Amino acid sequence: MKLVLFDCDGTLVDSVGLIHEVMRRTFLHFGKREPDVAETKAIIGLTLDIAIARMDGKPHADDEAVAMATYYKSIFGEVRRDSGFEEPLFDGIRGVIDTLAAREDVVLGSVTGKSRRGLAMVLEGHGFAPHFQFCRTADDCPSKPHPAMVTECCDESGIAPSETIVIGDAVFDMQMAKAAGATAIGVSWGYASVEDLWKAGADAVVDQPADLLAYIH
């Protein structure tokens, strides 16, 4: 039995437009300079207060970063609803998830820097909720690259890290997987460069969602 854990933002869905707009509004609300998209892409995957602190040039999440994270969460739903930004699936992802969900030797889950509510909105919105049995979010565990998201999913499922595959687009995903003793597969369609994924310890990097199936035996 294999446990396959997908990151969400940048791996399942293309959410950078929405995330950046909410981040932009948050920074401006707190009287700070407007961040650019590259800065936002670089922190996607981290727990929100840590991500905001890094974008603001701070070594750790202080009280202001926590306050900014709270504000970000308070406007996220409104921006998502009213701004026209969506979180569409990357081309080919639906076919891969449907294929894996039909297999008896594979169990699916998600490990993400999103909140549990945010992940639920994505999974339910795309009809994936019944397929993802084991999930950990920023509400449940320390921020990536800490291995807790992976190890807790392994403990809950009863599947060893050596039989677990983590699929993600960020260096934090690769580092988290290796720290947990799992296989790390990077995807090139997300927000980190292929070179950075290899440097972070990826066991493989794929260019198309369908290519993932070759690594899940």
| Mean pLDDT on 72-88 | 88
Query: Quick one: pLDDT at residue 117?
Result: 92
pTM for the full model?
A: 0.94
- Rounded CA-CA distance 214/217 in Å is 7
pLDDT at 83 over 80: no
- CATH 1.10.150.240 residue ranges of the chain are 16-82
pLDDT score recorded for residue 74 = 96
Q: pLDDT > 70: what percent of the chain?
A: 100
Distance in angstroms (rounded) separating the CA atoms of residues 216 and 105: 10
List, as one string, the DSSP characters of 132-151. EEEEE-TTTSPPTTSTHHHH
Residue pLDDT, tens place only, 135-179: 999 999 999 999 999 999 999 999 999 999 999 999 999 999 999
Reply yes or no: is the peptide bond before residue 209 cis, omega within 30 of 0.
no
CATH homologous superfamily of 16-82 equals: Putative phosphatase; domain 2 (1.10.150.240)
Q: Binning pLDDT at 50, 70 and 90, where does residue 84 land?
A: confident
What pLDDT, on the 0 to 100 scale, is given for residue 135?
A: 98
CATH superfamily of 2-14+87-215: HAD superfamily/HAD-like (3.40.50.1000)
Q: Which residues make up the CATH 3.40.50.1000 domain(s) of the chain?
A: 2-14+87-215
Q: Which of 128, 123, 138 is nearest to 43 (CA)?
A: 138
pLDDT digits (tens, 9 = 90+) for 49-69: 999 999 999 999 999 999 999
Cβ atoms 113, 139 nearer than 8 A:
no
| Residue in the structure block whose two tokens are 């009287």 | 31
Per-residue pLDDT at 81 exceeds 90: no
Mean pLDDT of the chain: 96
pLDDT, residue 82, reads: 80
